[in-house]
Amino acid sequence: MIELGRLRALSAVATYGTVLAAADVLHCTPSAVSQHITKLEEETGTNLFEKDGRKLRLTDAGRLLAEHAGLVLAAVERAEAALEAHHTTVTGRVTIASFATGCRALLPHALKWLAKEHPQLEMGLVEFNPRESLDLLARGEVDLALVDEWPTVPFAFPPGVELAELGLDHADLVVPAHHPLAQRKRPVKLAQVAGERWVSSTPGTNCYDWLTRALPGVQPAFLVGEFETQLTLVATGLGIAAIPRLARISVPSTVVILPIDPMPARRVSVVWRSASQERPAILAAVAALRKAWEKRVTAA
Protein backbone atom coordinates (compact mmCIF):
# COMPACT_ATOMS: atom_id res chain seq x y z
CA MET A 1 0.00 0.00 0.00
CA ILE A 2 1.31 3.43 -0.92
CA GLU A 3 1.76 5.67 2.13
CA LEU A 4 0.23 9.15 2.18
CA GLY A 5 3.55 10.69 3.16
CA ARG A 6 5.10 9.40 -0.05
CA LEU A 7 2.23 10.74 -2.12
CA ARG A 8 2.64 14.14 -0.45
CA ALA A 9 6.35 14.09 -1.27
CA LEU A 10 5.59 13.16 -4.89
CA SER A 11 3.01 15.95 -5.19
CA ALA A 12 5.34 18.53 -3.63
CA VAL A 13 8.32 17.68 -5.85
CA ALA A 14 6.04 17.67 -8.90
CA THR A 15 4.74 21.12 -7.96
CA TYR A 16 7.98 22.82 -6.93
CA GLY A 17 10.47 21.03 -9.15
CA THR A 18 13.18 20.31 -6.57
CA VAL A 19 13.60 18.16 -3.49
CA LEU A 20 14.86 21.15 -1.51
CA ALA A 21 11.78 23.26 -2.29
CA ALA A 22 9.47 20.34 -1.55
CA ALA A 23 11.17 19.76 1.79
CA ASP A 24 10.71 23.41 2.71
CA VAL A 25 6.98 23.22 1.98
CA LEU A 26 6.55 19.90 3.79
CA HIS A 27 8.61 21.09 6.78
CA CYS A 28 10.99 18.15 6.67
CA THR A 29 14.54 17.44 5.52
CA PRO A 30 15.49 17.01 1.85
CA SER A 31 16.79 13.52 2.67
CA ALA A 32 13.34 12.56 3.99
CA VAL A 33 11.74 13.69 0.72
CA SER A 34 14.34 11.81 -1.32
CA GLN A 35 13.72 8.66 0.72
CA HIS A 36 9.97 8.93 0.11
CA ILE A 37 10.51 9.25 -3.65
CA THR A 38 13.03 6.38 -3.71
CA LYS A 39 10.66 4.09 -1.78
CA LEU A 40 7.79 5.07 -4.05
CA GLU A 41 9.82 4.22 -7.16
CA GLU A 42 10.79 0.88 -5.62
CA GLU A 43 7.18 0.07 -4.74
CA THR A 44 5.84 1.02 -8.16
CA GLY A 45 8.77 -0.44 -10.09
CA THR A 46 9.14 2.65 -12.26
CA ASN A 47 11.06 5.91 -12.51
CA LEU A 48 8.84 8.81 -11.49
CA PHE A 49 11.21 11.71 -12.20
CA GLU A 50 13.98 12.59 -14.63
CA LYS A 51 16.49 15.41 -14.39
CA ASP A 52 15.75 18.62 -16.26
CA GLY A 53 18.69 20.91 -15.59
CA ARG A 54 18.60 21.73 -11.90
CA LYS A 55 15.00 20.61 -11.56
CA LEU A 56 13.17 17.31 -11.66
CA ARG A 57 10.53 16.58 -14.29
CA LEU A 58 7.82 13.96 -14.03
CA THR A 59 8.02 10.97 -16.33
CA ASP A 60 4.80 9.79 -17.97
CA ALA A 61 4.35 7.27 -15.16
CA GLY A 62 5.14 9.92 -12.60
CA ARG A 63 2.60 12.29 -14.10
CA LEU A 64 -0.06 9.59 -13.95
CA LEU A 65 0.68 8.80 -10.31
CA ALA A 66 0.85 12.51 -9.42
CA GLU A 67 -2.62 13.06 -10.85
CA HIS A 68 -4.01 10.23 -8.73
CA ALA A 69 -2.05 11.50 -5.73
CA GLY A 70 -3.85 14.82 -6.03
CA LEU A 71 -7.20 13.04 -5.96
CA VAL A 72 -6.21 10.92 -2.97
CA LEU A 73 -4.87 13.86 -0.95
CA ALA A 74 -8.02 15.89 -1.72
CA ALA A 75 -10.16 12.96 -0.56
CA VAL A 76 -8.15 12.73 2.67
CA GLU A 77 -8.64 16.44 3.26
CA ARG A 78 -12.39 16.07 2.74
CA ALA A 79 -12.46 13.15 5.17
CA GLU A 80 -10.56 15.15 7.78
CA ALA A 81 -12.94 18.07 7.28
CA ALA A 82 -15.97 15.82 7.68
CA LEU A 83 -14.51 14.38 10.88
CA GLU A 84 -13.84 17.87 12.24
CA ALA A 85 -17.45 18.78 11.52
CA HIS A 86 -18.56 16.31 14.18
CA HIS A 87 -16.70 18.19 16.89
CA THR A 88 -18.56 20.87 18.81
CA THR A 89 -15.40 22.88 19.52
CA VAL A 90 -13.71 24.80 16.71
CA THR A 91 -10.04 23.80 16.88
CA GLY A 92 -7.01 23.35 14.65
CA ARG A 93 -5.08 25.93 12.68
CA VAL A 94 -6.22 28.18 9.85
CA THR A 95 -3.81 30.34 7.87
CA ILE A 96 -5.17 33.21 5.79
CA ALA A 97 -3.37 34.85 2.86
CA SER A 98 -4.64 38.37 2.25
CA PHE A 99 -3.97 41.43 0.14
CA ALA A 100 -2.51 44.38 2.03
CA THR A 101 -5.70 46.40 2.51
CA GLY A 102 -7.52 43.32 3.80
CA CYS A 103 -4.71 42.74 6.31
CA ARG A 104 -5.09 46.24 7.63
CA ALA A 105 -8.82 46.91 7.43
CA LEU A 106 -10.51 43.51 7.89
CA LEU A 107 -8.22 40.94 9.47
CA PRO A 108 -7.68 42.71 12.84
CA HIS A 109 -11.44 42.65 13.48
CA ALA A 110 -11.85 39.08 12.20
CA LEU A 111 -8.91 37.71 14.18
CA LYS A 112 -10.04 39.45 17.36
CA TRP A 113 -13.53 37.96 17.02
CA LEU A 114 -12.12 34.47 16.38
CA ALA A 115 -9.82 34.70 19.42
CA LYS A 116 -12.81 35.62 21.58
CA GLU A 117 -15.33 33.12 20.21
CA HIS A 118 -12.98 30.22 19.44
CA PRO A 119 -9.97 30.42 21.80
CA GLN A 120 -8.80 26.91 20.84
CA LEU A 121 -8.47 27.88 17.19
CA GLU A 122 -4.96 28.87 16.13
CA MET A 123 -4.84 31.51 13.39
CA GLY A 124 -2.08 32.54 11.02
CA LEU A 125 -1.85 35.45 8.57
CA VAL A 126 0.44 36.13 5.61
CA GLU A 127 0.30 39.08 3.21
CA PHE A 128 0.42 38.39 -0.52
CA ASN A 129 -1.16 39.79 -3.65
CA PRO A 130 -4.32 37.94 -4.77
CA ARG A 131 -2.71 35.83 -7.48
CA GLU A 132 0.04 34.65 -5.15
CA SER A 133 -2.55 33.95 -2.44
CA LEU A 134 -4.57 31.76 -4.80
CA ASP A 135 -1.44 29.85 -5.78
CA LEU A 136 -0.65 29.23 -2.11
CA LEU A 137 -4.24 28.10 -1.54
CA ALA A 138 -4.17 25.68 -4.46
CA ARG A 139 -0.89 24.19 -3.21
CA GLY A 140 -2.30 23.73 0.29
CA GLU A 141 0.10 26.17 1.97
CA VAL A 142 -2.74 28.35 3.29
CA ASP A 143 -6.35 27.54 4.14
CA LEU A 144 -8.10 30.73 3.04
CA ALA A 145 -7.33 33.52 0.58
CA LEU A 146 -8.80 37.00 0.91
CA VAL A 147 -8.61 38.58 -2.54
CA ASP A 148 -9.70 41.69 -4.42
CA GLU A 149 -10.59 41.74 -8.10
CA TRP A 150 -11.48 44.61 -10.43
CA PRO A 151 -14.05 43.74 -13.14
CA THR A 152 -11.75 45.10 -15.83
CA VAL A 153 -8.79 43.06 -14.54
CA PRO A 154 -10.27 39.61 -13.84
CA PHE A 155 -8.20 36.56 -13.02
CA ALA A 156 -8.96 32.86 -13.22
CA PHE A 157 -9.62 31.05 -9.97
CA PRO A 158 -7.87 27.68 -9.70
CA PRO A 159 -10.00 24.54 -9.95
CA GLY A 160 -11.32 22.94 -6.79
CA VAL A 161 -12.06 26.11 -4.83
CA GLU A 162 -15.14 27.78 -3.40
CA LEU A 163 -15.61 31.49 -2.81
CA ALA A 164 -17.90 33.84 -0.96
CA GLU A 165 -18.15 37.46 -2.02
CA LEU A 166 -17.94 39.83 0.93
CA GLY A 167 -18.98 42.88 -1.08
CA LEU A 168 -17.89 45.68 -3.40
CA ASP A 169 -15.25 48.18 -2.36
CA HIS A 170 -15.86 51.44 -4.23
CA ALA A 171 -13.08 53.83 -5.14
CA ASP A 172 -13.21 57.64 -5.08
CA LEU A 173 -11.00 60.41 -6.40
CA VAL A 174 -8.82 62.04 -3.75
CA VAL A 175 -7.46 65.53 -4.47
CA PRO A 176 -5.63 68.18 -2.42
CA ALA A 177 -7.92 70.66 -0.64
CA HIS A 178 -6.65 73.51 -2.87
CA HIS A 179 -7.30 71.61 -6.10
CA PRO A 180 -9.65 73.34 -8.62
CA LEU A 181 -12.06 70.39 -8.38
CA ALA A 182 -12.17 70.43 -4.57
CA GLN A 183 -15.40 72.45 -4.49
CA ARG A 184 -17.09 70.40 -7.18
CA LYS A 185 -20.52 69.05 -6.24
CA ARG A 186 -20.99 66.57 -9.08
CA PRO A 187 -19.13 63.28 -9.64
CA VAL A 188 -15.94 63.49 -11.69
CA LYS A 189 -15.31 61.51 -14.85
CA LEU A 190 -11.82 60.06 -15.00
CA ALA A 191 -11.34 61.47 -18.49
CA GLN A 192 -11.55 64.95 -16.98
CA VAL A 193 -8.45 64.35 -14.86
CA ALA A 194 -6.48 62.15 -17.25
CA GLY A 195 -3.78 64.79 -17.63
CA GLU A 196 -3.27 65.31 -13.89
CA ARG A 197 -0.22 64.17 -11.98
CA TRP A 198 -1.22 60.80 -10.55
CA VAL A 199 -0.25 58.91 -7.43
CA SER A 200 -0.77 55.19 -7.94
CA SER A 201 -0.10 51.72 -6.62
CA THR A 202 2.95 49.94 -7.98
CA PRO A 203 2.97 48.11 -11.35
CA GLY A 204 1.74 44.55 -11.13
CA THR A 205 -0.90 45.29 -8.51
CA ASN A 206 -4.61 45.08 -9.23
CA CYS A 207 -5.15 48.79 -8.54
CA TYR A 208 -2.36 49.85 -10.91
CA ASP A 209 -3.72 47.57 -13.64
CA TRP A 210 -7.21 48.98 -13.15
CA LEU A 211 -6.04 52.62 -13.36
CA THR A 212 -3.93 52.10 -16.48
CA ARG A 213 -6.86 50.37 -18.19
CA ALA A 214 -9.35 53.02 -17.09
CA LEU A 215 -7.01 55.77 -18.34
CA PRO A 216 -5.01 54.35 -21.28
CA GLY A 217 -1.67 56.08 -21.60
CA VAL A 218 -1.59 57.45 -18.04
CA GLN A 219 1.87 57.44 -16.49
CA PRO A 220 1.65 57.94 -12.73
CA ALA A 221 4.38 60.15 -11.33
CA PHE A 222 4.48 58.43 -7.94
CA LEU A 223 4.26 54.66 -7.52
CA VAL A 224 3.86 53.54 -3.91
CA GLY A 225 2.47 50.37 -2.39
CA GLU A 226 0.71 51.71 0.70
CA PHE A 227 -2.51 53.67 0.32
CA GLU A 228 -1.71 55.61 3.48
CA THR A 229 1.41 56.94 1.76
CA GLN A 230 -0.61 57.78 -1.34
CA LEU A 231 -2.97 59.84 0.81
CA THR A 232 -0.01 61.64 2.38
CA LEU A 233 1.39 62.52 -1.05
CA VAL A 234 -2.00 63.84 -2.17
CA ALA A 235 -2.35 65.81 1.08
CA THR A 236 0.93 67.60 0.38
CA GLY A 237 -0.32 68.63 -3.06
CA LEU A 238 1.88 66.33 -5.12
CA GLY A 239 -0.90 64.77 -7.16
CA ILE A 240 -4.29 63.06 -7.16
CA ALA A 241 -5.25 59.42 -6.62
CA ALA A 242 -8.15 56.99 -6.92
CA ILE A 243 -8.31 55.15 -3.60
CA PRO A 244 -10.73 52.38 -2.52
CA ARG A 245 -12.83 53.15 0.53
CA LEU A 246 -11.61 50.07 2.39
CA ALA A 247 -8.09 51.50 2.22
CA ARG A 248 -9.04 54.85 3.77
CA ILE A 249 -8.80 54.04 7.46
CA SER A 250 -7.61 57.56 8.27
CA VAL A 251 -7.92 60.52 5.89
CA PRO A 252 -5.84 63.72 6.16
CA SER A 253 -7.86 66.89 6.66
CA THR A 254 -6.06 68.52 3.72
CA VAL A 255 -7.63 66.29 1.06
CA VAL A 256 -11.07 66.22 -0.53
CA ILE A 257 -12.83 63.04 -1.60
CA LEU A 258 -14.89 63.19 -4.79
CA PRO A 259 -17.13 60.48 -6.28
CA ILE A 260 -16.20 59.11 -9.71
CA ASP A 261 -18.70 58.64 -12.53
CA PRO A 262 -19.12 55.78 -13.24
CA MET A 263 -18.24 54.59 -9.77
CA PRO A 264 -15.44 52.01 -9.92
CA ALA A 265 -15.54 49.09 -7.52
CA ARG A 266 -13.46 46.02 -6.78
CA ARG A 267 -14.96 42.77 -5.57
CA VAL A 268 -13.60 41.43 -2.27
CA SER A 269 -13.98 37.67 -1.76
CA VAL A 270 -12.77 34.92 0.54
CA VAL A 271 -11.71 31.68 -1.15
CA TRP A 272 -11.05 28.18 0.21
CA ARG A 273 -10.47 24.69 -1.16
CA SER A 274 -13.65 22.71 -1.86
CA ALA A 275 -12.18 19.73 -0.01
CA SER A 276 -12.04 21.71 3.25
CA GLN A 277 -15.42 23.43 3.08
CA GLU A 278 -16.91 21.27 5.86
CA ARG A 279 -14.23 22.20 8.37
CA PRO A 280 -15.81 24.12 11.25
CA ALA A 281 -12.64 26.21 11.46
CA ILE A 282 -13.03 27.32 7.84
CA LEU A 283 -16.70 28.16 8.37
CA ALA A 284 -15.83 30.13 11.51
CA ALA A 285 -13.10 32.10 9.72
CA VAL A 286 -15.41 32.93 6.81
CA ALA A 287 -18.09 34.08 9.27
CA ALA A 288 -15.53 36.26 11.04
CA LEU A 289 -14.52 37.90 7.77
CA ARG A 290 -18.17 38.59 6.98
CA LYS A 291 -18.59 40.25 10.38
CA ALA A 292 -15.42 42.29 9.82
CA TRP A 293 -16.72 43.43 6.43
CA GLU A 294 -20.08 44.47 7.90
CA LYS A 295 -18.34 46.34 10.69
CA ARG A 296 -16.06 48.16 8.25
CA VAL A 297 -18.89 49.05 5.84
CA THR A 298 -21.06 50.29 8.71
CA ALA A 299 -18.21 52.41 10.05
CA ALA A 300 -17.57 53.91 6.61
Q: Are residues 150 and 112 in the same domain?
A: yes
Q: Are residues 32 and 109 in the same domain?
A: no
Kindly report the CATH number assigned to the domain that includes residue 14.
Answer: 1.10.10.10
Out of 56, 84, 112, a domain closes at 84
Residue of 247 and 87 predicted with greater confidence: 247
Q: Are residues 19 and 58 in the same domain?
A: yes
Q: Are residues 54 and 41 in the same domain?
A: yes
The pLDDT-based confidence of 60 (bands split at 50, 70, 90) is: confident
The pLDDT-based confidence of 299 (bands split at 50, 70, 90) is: low
Q: What percent of the chain has pLDDT over 90?
A: 57
Structural domain count, the chain: 3
Q: Are residues 71 and 122 in the same domain?
A: no
Within its chain, how far is the Cα of 47 from the centroid? 36
Q: What is the pTM for the complete model shown?
A: 0.73
Q: Would you say residue 258 has pLDDT above 70? A: yes
Q: Are residues 78 and 100 in the same domain?
A: no
How confident is the model over 78-122, as pLDDT tens digits? 766 666 655 667 888 999 999 999 999 999 999 999 999 999 999
- The Cα 251–Cα 256 span in angstroms is 9
pLDDT at 83: 64
Q: What percent of the chain has pLDDT over 70?
A: 94
Residues 6 or more apart whose Cβ sits within 8 Å of residue 292: 106, 107, 108, 109, 110, 113
Q: Are residues 250 and 286 in the same domain?
A: no
Q: Would you say residue 68 has pLDDT above 60? A: yes
Q: Would you say residue 297 has pLDDT above 80? A: no
Q: Are residues 97 and 208 in the same domain?
A: no
Domain containing 235: what range?
Answer: 168-264
Q: Are residues 69 and 218 in the same domain?
A: no
- The Cα 78–Cα 90 span in angstroms is 17
Out of 57, 84, 111, a domain closes at 84
Q: Are residues 235 and 273 in the same domain?
A: no
How confident is the model over 164-175, as pLDDT tens digits? 999 999 999 999
- The Cα 247–Cα 165 span in angstroms is 18
pLDDT at 236: 96
Out of 84, 109, 137, a domain closes at 84
Q: Are residues 102 and 40 in the same domain?
A: no
Q: For 121-150, what is the mean pLDDT?
A: 93
Within its chain, how far is the Cα of 289 from the centroid? 14
Q: Are residues 80 and 128 in the same domain?
A: no
